[in-house]
């Protein structure tokens, strides 16, 4: 009895690494940036001031991170089998948007035009969508241009600095005043406001007047892209954008006395960009090497009737990024001979040469009991492969869903056999999906 084997590496029944065709492997990369912008606002006492004519009343700086998260290139895998609310991607604090406001007081002045509760220095930011006219709460994320994907924003104050008695007022449209180190959900019309004005002060040898006290506040946003519904097949391959508005954005512009210098600031431009591409789940081979022992075949005296052997399991292990629809396999004989007329896998006398074909004996490949054409062009649809896999942090794992596509193979004698000895079949495989 002779032992007949098919050997595979990288696909099915082959000695060589099989060429695999599938979309690029996707890795989420957290992106940080040292880039930042800064704007300076200066307030000066009027020339008619008795104590400090034309001198600096205060100087404020507004600085912001310039990471521009939606301009960073990344691919977002969206699995329609994932439940609504699934976090598709998240940016942590320090990765999305950071802001800081610092004011340093100047000279004592006699003028009272900066002393009212109406701020001389005023900062207001509403980094939210024009389309979100009503606050729907945490269950109503800011919409994106992709139906089924929304944006959630959260913010934390590192330094609040609210002290009405010293001429500083810091608040949001939901919290007055906020607490440092506490995370708040940013509703669709959340505003962060910083106000600063003078307070009365008496200075020995000069007299009573007004002065700006030092003040500062700093806060950061983090964000999540969440699944709000199913993604249309037409949206796969599109880039994701978010329409955010400058709203009531004002920096140093509440009073005409404030002189601005420095970089331009715009919430809309900070969060503009189309670097995020939506893609469907994908699958790739989990194992590259397969050796299938086909057992022995007794050559029958050819009488014109095709004979078939027992089926051997050929389990192809896959790893997927979720539930990938319509996973196709395509097979091509890797030997040196022409394609089998019956589109089977030819067998060869020599495992190394792949040229000494054994006439009369082939290997038939099957899926679900049906013949699979091994011709390099025919696609065999194995349906949906993989499944949604949730993780502790809500992120979609990369190629973490394992699955198996089960094929079978069997010897097939379709003519007289004149050779006795070991044989090897070779085939390359491609994996594609929609």
**What is the pLDDT at residue 288?**
74
Long-range (24+ apart) CB contacts under 8 A made by 47-55 are 48/111, 49/109, 49/110, 49/111, 50/110, 51/107, 51/108, 51/109, 51/110, 51/206, 51/207, 51/209, 52/106, 52/107, 52/108, 52/109, 52/110, 55/106, 55/107, 55/109
Least confident of 78-87, 148-157, 248-257, 288-297: 248-257
Give the CATH class of 5-23+282-433.
mainly beta
Average per-residue pLDDT for the chain? 80
Measured between alpha carbons, how far apart are the two ends of the chain, in Å? 46
Under 8 Å between Cβ of 273 and 68: yes
**What is the pLDDT at residue 255?**
64
Least confident of 25-34, 131-140, 187-196, 220-229: 25-34
**Which residue did the predictor score with more confidence, 18 or 166?**
166
From the centroid of its chain, how far is CA 31?
11
**What is the pLDDT at residue 30?**
26
Q: What is the DSSP code string of 202-238?
A: EETTTEEEEEPPPEEEEEEEEEEEEE-SPPPGGGTTP
Domain boundaries, the chain: 5-23+282-433, 36-279
Of 323-327, 369-373, 397-401, which has the strongest mean pLDDT? Answer: 369-373
- Does pLDDT of 155 surpass 50? yes
Q: Using CA of residue 72, residue 73, residue 74, residue 76, what is the dihedral sign?
A: positive
Under 8 Å between Cβ of 86 and 77: no
The conformation of residue 393, written as its DSSP 8-state character, comes to T
Under 8 Å between Cβ of 60 and 161: no
Query: Band of the pLDDT at 156, cuts 50, 70, 90?
Result: very high
- Does pLDDT of 385 surpass 90? yes
- Does pLDDT of 191 surpass 60? yes
Give residue-wise pLDDT tens across range 69-119. Answer: 999 999 888 989 888 999 999 999 999 999 998 989 889 989 887 765 556
Q: In what order do the strands lie in the sheet with 276-279?
A: 74-77, 276-279, 239-240
**Which residue did the predictor score with more confidence, 391 or 149?**
149
Q: Which residue has the tokens 């999540």?
A: 224
Under 8 Å between Cβ of 325 and 316: no
**What is the pLDDT at residue 125?**
61
Q: Tell me the C-alpha to C-alpha distance, in Å, between residue 110 and each of 54, 56, 197.
A: 12, 13, 14
**What is the pLDDT at residue 426?**
84
Query: Band of the pLDDT at 186, cuts 50, 70, 90?
Result: confident
Q: Let me know how long the chain is.
A: 434
**Which residue did the predictor score with more confidence, 392 or 292?**
292
Considering only CA atoms, which of 336, 331, 344 is closest in space to residue 8? 331
Residue 277, SS3?
A: strand
Task: Name, in order, each residue with C-beta under 8 angstroms of 83's C-beta and a sequence gap of 6 or more.
Answer: 227, 388
pTM of the predicted model as reported, rounded to 2 decimal places: 0.73
**What is the pLDDT at residue 339?**
86
**What is the pLDDT at residue 2?**
31
């Amino acid at each position: 009895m002779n032992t007949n084997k098919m050997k595979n590496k990288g696909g099915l029944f082959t000695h060589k690494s099989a060429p695999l065709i599938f979309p690029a492997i996707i890795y989420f990369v957290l992106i940080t940036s040292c880039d930042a912008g800064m704007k300076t606002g200066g307030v000066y006492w009027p020339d008619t001031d008795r104590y400090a004519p034309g001198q600096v009343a205060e100087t404020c700086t507004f600085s912001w991170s310039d990471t521009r998260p939606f301009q960073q290139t990344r691919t977002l895998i969206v699995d329609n089998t994932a439940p609504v609310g699934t976090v598709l991607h998240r940016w942590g604090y320090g990765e999305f948007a950071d802001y800081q406001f610092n004011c340093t007081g100047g000279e004592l002045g006699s003028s009272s035009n900066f002393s009212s509760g109406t701020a001389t220095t005023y900062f207001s930011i509403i980094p939210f969508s024009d389309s979100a006219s009503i606050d729907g709460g945490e269950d109503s994320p800011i919409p994106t241009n992709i139906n089924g994907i929304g944006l959630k924003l959260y913010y934390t104050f590192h330094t609040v600095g609210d002290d009405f008695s010293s001429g500083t007022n810091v608040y949001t449209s939901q919290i007055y005043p906020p607490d440092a180190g506490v995370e708040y959900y940013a509703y669709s019309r959340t505003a962060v406001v910083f106000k600063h004005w003078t307070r009365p002060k008496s200075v020995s040898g000069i007299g009573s007047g007004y002065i700006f006290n030092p003040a500062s506040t700093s806060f950061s946003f983090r964000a999540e892209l969440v699944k709000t519904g199913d993604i249309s097949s037409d949206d796969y391959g599109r880039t994701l954008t978010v329409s955010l508005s400058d709203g009531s954005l004002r920096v140093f512009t509440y009073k005409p006395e404030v002189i601005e210098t420095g970089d331009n600031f715009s919430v809309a431009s900070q969060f503009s960009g189309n670097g995020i591409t939506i893609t469907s789940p994908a699958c790739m081979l989990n194992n590259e090497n397969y050796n299938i022992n086909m057992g022995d075949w007794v050559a029958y005296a050819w009488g014109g009737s095709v004979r078939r052997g027992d089926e051997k399991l050929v389990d192809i292990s896959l790893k997927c990024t979720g539930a990938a629809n319509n996973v196709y396999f395509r097979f091509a004989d890797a030997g040196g001979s022409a394609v089998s007329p019956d589109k089977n896998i030819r067998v060869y006398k020599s495992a190394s040469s792949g040229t000494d074909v054994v006439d009369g004996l082939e290997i038939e490949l099957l899926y679900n009991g049906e013949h699979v054409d091994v011709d390099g062009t025919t696609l065999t649809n194995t349906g949906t492969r993989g499944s949604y896999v949730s993780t502790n942090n809500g992120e979609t794992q990369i190629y973490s869903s394992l699955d198996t596509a089960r094929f079978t193979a069997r010897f097939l004698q379709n003519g007289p056999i004149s050779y006795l000895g070991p044989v090897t079949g070779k085939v390359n495989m491609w994996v594609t999906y929609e």
